[in-house]
Structure 1
């Protein structure tokens, strides 16, 4: 491919020109082998493999089963949107640092960042009391607070860290909590912090036996913006799979875990089943959805959900609530 190393347009999303060139080559040749891509780009096979591995990590390329190795491109729309969300997340994290520096040196007035200590149990008690003050909304990130009570009129959203849901018992506990609290729950790998936000006016950022309490400020605004980005990236804890005969709620959960990037071994451990069971169920789901890859299966399930207007989350809570500060 002439000009394979020429600059393209995905650099703003963190995709180097060489990787973008290979992605474009695969878009034009779905299912191409390494040898065919090497001929198309003018690169040696080792370089093609290295670039393909990077594209797989970014979710832009899918390696098809069988030998020789063949690659299929992820659909540009959702794949690039995911990259854009990651870049926005990085920008929001940088804004958090800037806001912390600004608020930390604000002269006079009430402190917008307070430190709370006393050990894990003291932080747990404080978090429980803080939740009790909620009148409109509670946001949870990372691991759930140890105790919570459903309050009429108070909306709850949670993004759980996969690392916390590392056993069938914890996964079952999260499902029970979601049902009992009428909570909209999602799951994400590598959640960057453990957070509790009440009414968008107070946030508790936990770090073991200590915590930071954030009051209305640029830093709190940045934390809320980061939460919304992570919410967009996360997948439902209880996804719906309507419109496809033969798919159950358990199949939907399996699809969600797979879509979030977990390996079959990790999925099996969290569901408390054998790895072969996960592999067998995934093959059946792909057959039902008419998908050649797991990525396609996830997209197909999402299309069915959108097409019927259903989801595992309540339609009346479809979007994030507005900023209630000063209400």
Structure 2
């Protein structure tokens, strides 16, 4: 609804048809966790949909929907105007970048799963300084079944590798294992709530993006050579990289060295890492191949050991003890 996520909608509807409620009452009515609910209430207040009443304990009430939603509509209209202005600016920049150049030399359409896989692998192999990308399914595979891979091709050559993953993709089977393998080979990984598109960038010389925005099968891509479009893709990646959360696979102290004092077991390190990027207990259980109740017991044990009242607080306290390093 007008840019609200699931948690904000749930909290708003819990307040819409009743009197002002306190936090504990809202938890019972909405079914949301305390930390999630607090964040949703803050964003609803910022959007002018609800109001926090004075007094203690704090209570919230829904504002008249006809006025609040009108404010949201006006904000959405301003966002649309800004996006249109940006689109016009990008189009003009792209047009000027192509003046006097052969368009066919700047953009090439790659078709067929084998062609896409080979092109992607060539981008990794040809990089001299850095490979960057946004990782999202589907994945290209060559005829022999091998997948396009980053870390195995760049680690031995001293090429920097940076990749962004969408949080929703972390629940796919095998994703966490692949990330941990790549990180162990020196790849830098960050997490966003949602990966907007799939990208591979090789230095500042080439980029590869799907021909279709949300492909079911990766059988066609656009190869982009140095141009205004490649500059825009590079700028998009860097903007998202700054916004994304760092993925940490194990305990790291403040000076960047591994925590080897036995404070955490390997399973506890992995659970803490997955908690930090927002995975649910069910998703953690699937990724680690252990039972849901086992995960729940270990999460609760971590909270108790840290003296934390929430998952977020657990991450803060663990960072303070040098058990892991939060994003810079």
Q: Under TM normalisation by the shorter chain, which class is it?
A: 0.5 to 0.7
| Structure 1 portions without partners, runs of 5+ | 1-13, 23-33, 39-44, 62-69, 72-89, 319-327
The reply to whether residue 195 of structure 1 matches residue 185 of structure 2 is no
Matches of 2:83 and 2:202, distance apart in 1:
21
Matches within 5 A, 1:52-63: 55-57=38-40
Report whether the alignment pairs 1:102 with 2:114: no
Question: Where does structure 2 lack aligned partners over 5 or more consecutive residues?
Answer: 12-19, 45-56, 59-79, 140-146, 213-217, 254-258
SS in 2 for 1:105: helix
State the partner residue of 1:8.
Answer: none
Give the drift of 1:128.
0.8
Residue 236 of structure 2 corresponds to which residue in structure 1?
226
| Contact residue 133 and residue 200 of structure 2 kept, 8 A | yes
Q: Which residue of structure 2 aligns with residue 282 of structure 1?
A: 299
Give the number of equivalent residue pairs.
Answer: 247
Two-structure CA RMSD over aligned residues (Å): 4.3
Q: After TM superposition, give the deviation of residue 284 of structure 1 in Å.
A: 1.4
Using the alignment, how far apart are the partners of 1:217 and 1:58 within structure 2? 44
1:119 and 1:201, CA in 2 relative to 1: closer, same or farther beyond 3 A? same
Counterpart check, 1:129 vs 2:122 = yes
SS in 1 for 2:208: strand
Output aligned runs, 1:304-319, within 5 Å.
304-305=321-322, 311=325
Query: 2:202 aligned with 1:185, yes or no?
Result: no
Note closer, same or farther for the CA distance 1:133–1:249 as it changes in structure 2 (3 Å cut): same
* 1:253 pairs with 2:270: yes
Alpha carbons of 1:37 and 1:249: their partners in 2 closer, same or farther (altered >3 Å)? Answer: closer
- What TM-score, normalized to structure 2? 0.60
Corresponding residue for residue 175 of structure 1:
180
Give, in whole Å, the separation in 2 of the partners of 1:118 and 1:192: 22
Between the aligned partners of 1:142 and 1:92, the Cα distance in structure 2 is 27
Aligned 8 A contact 1:247 1:285 in 2: no
Determine helix, strand or coil for the equivalent of 1:117: strand
Q: Which residue of 1 aligns with 2:165?
A: 160
Tell me the CA shift for residue 167 of structure 1: 4.7
Structure 1 residue matching 2:174: 3-state secondary structure: helix
TM (norm. structure 1) is: 0.60
CA, structure 1 residues 159+58, in 2 after alignment: closer, same or farther (shift >3 Å)?
farther
